[in-house]
Amino acid sequence: MSELKHARFVWPVRVYLEDTDAGGVVYHSRYLNYFERARTEMLRAAGVSLSELKEKHGLTWVVLEINVQYRKAARLDDELRVTAELLRVKGVRQGFRQVMTRVSDGLVVAIAELSTVMLNADTLKPARMPAWIRANLPGADKTNR
């Protein structure tokens, strides 16, 4: 897990027919799915299971806001790489940055910056991210503690 702390996490994604419109271009909402999968896999690689987070620790994670810049269209059969990196932790909020690139030409397809918050799963009141999670996330050495 230590190598995770110093590099952006990268998750491969393939564009399938179900992700596209009749012209073979990815629907705008599917980019959110790709970003979500990369963040979830980043957490898993850092030893955080979202189901165990809820069951064992009584916590859940939600997105407060997301800003996506669409740069190039992703198309049917494109192989994409989606990064995920923790930029900051301030109080109960976390900031992430994600970049999606097309493997064939290296072009940036989309960039997402988002804020998340951890909640108590029963009360839905904000809770601080446990130190054991923050310590293992990519970019954790850059966070405000």
- Closest by alpha carbon to 26, among 10, 12, 38, 14? 14
**β partners of residue 59:** 120
9-14 and 59-70 as β-strands: parallel, antiparallel, unpaired?
unpaired
Residue 70: helix, strand or coil by DSSP?
strand
109 within 8 A of 71, measured Cβ to Cβ: yes
138 near 5, Cβ under 8 Å? yes
Catalytic residue list:
21
